[in-house]
Amino acid sequence: MPQKSLISNSIRGDFCRAFERALELTGEKLRWFDLKRRGKLVERMRKYNPDAAPSIQDYHTLRPLPQIEIDVLQNKEEFKQDPGYN
């Protein structure tokens, strides 16, 4: 019986830490980066953001490179726009 309690406490602790991190990073406008790094961005957007859910795609884990940045490069052929933004 103690093992079940230990597992429950561990899961509860993980949830609480994840929730606290979400609140903290949302306030600091860093949540996108955290979700992207952990591979949860698309999953969370589809589950918790009904406005974005219909249009979010896997390529949204990358940001488009500003065209002005690409235009000023001397070696444009070495740099390509991120997939999905062509």
pLDDT tens digits, one per residue of 29-43: 777 888 888 899 999
Reported as a single tens digit per residue, the pLDDT across 42-57 is 999 999 899 999 999 9
Handedness of CA 75, 76, 78, 79 (dihedral sign): positive
pLDDT score recorded for residue 18: 75
* Token pair 């509860």: residue: 12
Among 6-10, 28-32, 49-53, 76-80, the range scoring the smallest mean pLDDT is 6-10
Report the predicted TM-score, pTM, of the whole model to 2 decimal places.
0.57
Q: What pLDDT score was predicted for residue 58?
A: 93
Look at 26 and 19; give whichever has higher pLDDT: 19
Domain range list for the chain: 2-78
25 pLDDT more than 70: no
- SS3 of 51, please? coil
Residue 3 pLDDT more than 70?
Answer: no
Quote the Cα angle for 81-82-84, to 5°: 105
By the 8 A CB rule, do 74 and 47 touch?
Answer: no
CA end-to-end distance (rounded Å), the chain: 57
The rounded distance, in Å, linking the Cα atoms of 19 and 21 is 5
